Amino acid sequence: MGGETEIINSPDILIIEATYGSPKCRRVFKNEVIDLLIDTVTLGLTKHDRVVIYGYYGKLQEVMKILRERGVNEPFIMNRKIYNITRIAEKYGWMIGDYYLENTREAYEVARSSKYIYFEHLSRAKYRRLNNRSLYIVLTGHEFREPIRRIDDRTWLIAFSDHADFDELIQYVELSKPRIIIVDNSREGYPEVFTEELRKRGWNAILIPQP
């Protein structure tokens, strides 16, 4: 569980998601992921002109913040939507800096004169072009076997997720100590499984909406 996670102490009702609410969804390697991400980005910038990172909105901004905190100073380039979300993240205190909107004069100059990192939505990963100029990184939460896996000669898949895994969900409940737990059944994942796992452990867990 991340150090920034806020624990709600002894609530009457705790509403919790269960995207990875199955015991099979355990990332035993979770503490290795950030170091592997930094190493892969650094290697990509050393051997290629640019690194392209694919992920969901929000997750991309979290990675930008981590890269800056870990000393990766190369400029970032991104499309309009990611750019706008990044500006909002900075407004609320995330220190990112040195990022540019694609197709602007500034972005063209950055791409022409220096190595850089380009951020794109995960849905665009299937359109990547495998060439000698880029190294590609695909961020996913749907990986529990290993923290990093090679997809092809230019692409690495890294198990980086905003969602808690099974152990972290259980840990949150145990630290929070709610009287009633409502498991959100409106999203994909394992809400029914997680509800049963909570009940096995003696918690008063309710699945809503009912299947």
Query: DSSP string of 117-161?
Result: EEEEEGGGGGG----TTEEEEEEES---S-SEEEEETTEEEEE--
Q: How far apart are CA 59 and CA 89, in angstroms?
A: 11
Q: What's the pTM?
A: 0.78
Condensed to tens digits (0 to 9), the pLDDT of residues 166-203 reads: 988 999 999 999 999 999 999 888 999 999 999 999 99
Of 8-12, 21-25, 31-35, which range is least confident? Answer: 31-35
pLDDT reported for residue 3: 53
Instruction: Tell me the per-residue pLDDT of 87-112, one tens digit each, with 9 for 90 and over.
Output: 999 999 999 999 999 999 999 999 99
pLDDT surpassing 90 at residue 165: no
In sequence order, what are the residues at sequence separation of 6 or more whose Cβ sits closer than 8 angstroms to the Cβ of residue 6? none
Q: What is the pLDDT of residue 162?
A: 65
Q: What is the pLDDT of residues 128-163, one digit of tens each?
A: 988 778 999 999 876 567 788 899 989 999 988 767
pLDDT in tens, 41-65: 999 999 998 999 999 999 999 999 9
Residue 164 has pLDDT above 90, yes or no: no
Residue 194 to residue 82: CA distance in whole angstroms: 33
Name the pLDDT band for 1 (thresholds 50, 70, 90). Answer: low
| C-alpha triplet 175, 159, 72: angle, nearest 5° | 100
